[in-house]
Amino acid sequence: MKVHQTTIYDIARELNISKSTVSRALTNHPEVKSETRKAVLELAEKLDYQRNMLSINLISRKSNLIGIIVPEFNTSFFPQVVIGAQEMASKHGYNIIVSQSNEKFETEVENARVMLASQVDGILVSITKETRSYEHLKIFERKGIPIVLFNRVCDEMIVPKVVINDYEAAFGAVEHLILTGKKRIAHLAGPDSLITSRKRLKGYLDALKKHKISVDESLIIPYDLTIGKVKIYVKHLMDLKNPPDGLFVVNDPAAIEAIQTIKKMGIRIPEEIGIVGFSNDYGSDLIEPSLTTVAQPQRLMGSTAMQLLLDLMDKEVSQWKAVTKTLDSKLIVRNSSMLQESEPT
């Protein structure tokens, strides 16, 4: 004789509620009322229900998985963002799967395919420096899977985004160098393919303009985020007939490498050249001299992006809105730049 095995259908029928409500109650979803959850769990125990996550997912059409794709794990920035995102996801009963693209577009495309195959309920993405086509991400939208971009975003996709005030932060960093008396400030910039790089360059240029400092194109060097090239660029700058007395660097790993290179050249920091980085990466306060840098709210970025994604997941596609959240940063002044600022000109 075949023994009947209790299913979600049985519990839903007995309590006169929807199967999706039963599924959410069994997975401890925060939006289920406590009395409903209690009734479902009590009946499940009474009927000797054997929880089957596969059947729950098939019925609710949810995997309770959220994907996160990041461009790299070489710095502390993205791991901290992921921690913030994971903490928020866990509060809402979701698990995450994370992949990193190693700054390669082809790897990012493959990571997106894996996320689709894993049937994620939503996805957070920060693109690589090589990414200029977004078809592999647009497919999520077409399939009704919500997507949120963070930090490294693109204008082409009209989806929710979380960024920091890159322009204002860069402007403030360069103005800080100017107010310490630096007049010939170089910029080691990021690749032009990234909006973050372009905004930081614009902040650099506008800070010079505000203080009536002429722009010298020879002091602006874009690089592809390959850390091994920093030494070459910095030596080139410092070997100029009229070398810079200030340096604004697009990220902290490059700024730390710049400090080490300049020290080996026998140039005093900050007396002969002041240096400011960006991101407040691990090691920025350990290097000697300690690095003045722009601190980004990394975990807040992760939790904010995840909250935006969760909000989308609770709405019909027709209700999705492409909001952009801009988070504030903070300049942390350390020993790589003059601590005593002069009056602005």
Cβ count near 325 (within 10 Å): 17
Q: How far apart, in whole angstroms, are the C-alpha atoms of residue 159 and residue 146?
A: 9
Q: How far apart, in whole angstroms, are the C-alpha atoms of residue 6 and residue 35?
A: 21
The pLDDT, as a whole number, for residue 18 is 86
User: Which tens digits make up the pLDDT trace of 289-299?
Assistant: 999 999 999 99
Exposed, middle or buried: residue 172 (CB in 10 Å: 0-12, 13-18, 19+)? middle
**151: pLDDT strictly greater than 50:** yes
**276: pLDDT strictly greater than 80:** yes
pTM for this predicted structure: 0.80
**12: pLDDT strictly greater than 90:** no
Which three-class secondary structure state does DSSP give residue 233? helix
Q: How far apart, in whole angstroms, are the C-alpha atoms of residue 71 and residue 125?
A: 9
Query: What is the average pLDDT across 60-83?
Result: 90
160 Cα distance to chain centroid? 13
Give the tokens for residue 306.
């995840």
Yes or no: say if 224 and 189 are a contact pair by the CB < 8 Å rule: no
The pLDDT, as a whole number, for residue 19 is 77
More confident residue, 316 or 332: 332
Q: How far apart, in whole angstroms, are the C-alpha atoms of residue 292 and residue 284?
A: 8
Report in angstroms the alpha-carbon separations of 344 from 171, 201, 246, 275, 332.
14, 21, 16, 19, 19
What proportions of the chain, in percent to the nearest 5, are helix, strand and coil?
Answer: 45, 15, 40
1 band by pLDDT with thresholds 50, 70 and 90: very low
Query: What is the average pLDDT across 81-93?
Result: 96
The pLDDT, as a whole number, for residue 3 is 43
**54: pLDDT strictly greater than 70:** no
Mean pLDDT of the chain: 91
Q: Which of 26-35, 166-175, 228-237, 254-263 has the lowest mean pLDDT?
A: 26-35
The pLDDT, as a whole number, for residue 53 is 46
Yes or no: say if 249 and 258 are a contact pair by the CB < 8 Å rule: yes
- What DSSP element (H or E) covers 236? helix 230-238
**8: pLDDT strictly greater than 80:** no
Query: What is the average pLDDT across 45-59?
Result: 56
Q: Are strands 324-327 and 161-164 parallel, antiparallel or unpaired?
A: parallel
The pLDDT, as a whole number, for residue 5 is 61
Give me the amino acid identity at 206: D
Q: Which of 29-43, 90-104, 302-316, 331-345 has the lowest mean pLDDT?
A: 331-345
Domain 8-60 has CATH 3.40.50.720: no
The pLDDT, as a whole number, for residue 48 is 67
Cβ count near 43 (within 10 Å): 18
Per-domain residue ranges for the chain?
Answer: 8-60, 65-163+298-326, 166-296
339 band by pLDDT with thresholds 50, 70 and 90: low
User: Which tens digits make up the pLDDT trace of 222-266?
Assistant: 999 999 999 999 999 999 999 999 999 999 999 999 999 999 999
Q: Which residues contact 207 (CB under 8 A, 6 or more apart)?
A: 170, 171, 172, 174, 175, 178
Query: What is the average pLDDT across 11-15?
Result: 85
Q: Which of 16-30, 101-115, 271-285 has the lowest mean pLDDT?
A: 16-30
Q: Which residue has the tokens 């996801």?
A: 89
Q: How far apart, in whole angstroms, are the C-alpha atoms of residue 113 and residue 67?
A: 11
26 band by pLDDT with thresholds 50, 70 and 90: confident
Beta bridge partners of 96: 66
Yes or no: say if 71 and 112 are a contact pair by the CB < 8 Å rule: no
**27: pLDDT strictly greater than 90:** no
The pLDDT, as a whole number, for residue 47 is 74
Give the tokens for residue 329.
């940063």
24 band by pLDDT with thresholds 50, 70 and 90: confident
Query: What is the average pLDDT across 6-26?
Result: 81
Q: Could you check whether 65-163+298-326 and 166-296 share the same CATH topology?
A: yes
Query: What is the average pLDDT across 38-66?
Result: 68
Counts for the chain of helices (H) and strands (E), in that order: 12, 12
144 band by pLDDT with thresholds 50, 70 and 90: very high
CATH of 65-163+298-326, one of 3.30.465.10, 3.40.50.2300, 2.60.120.560, 3.30.920.30: 3.40.50.2300
Domain 166-296 has CATH 3.30.465.10: no
**DSSP per-residue codes, 271-330:** TT-EEEEEE--TTTTTSSSPPEEEEP-HHHHHHHHHHHHHHHHTS-GGG----EEEE--E
Yes or no: say if 84 and 298 are a contact pair by the CB < 8 Å rule: yes
The 10 Å CB-count burial string (b at 16+, else e) for 198-214 is bbbbebbbbbbeeeebe
The pLDDT, as a whole number, for residue 180 is 96
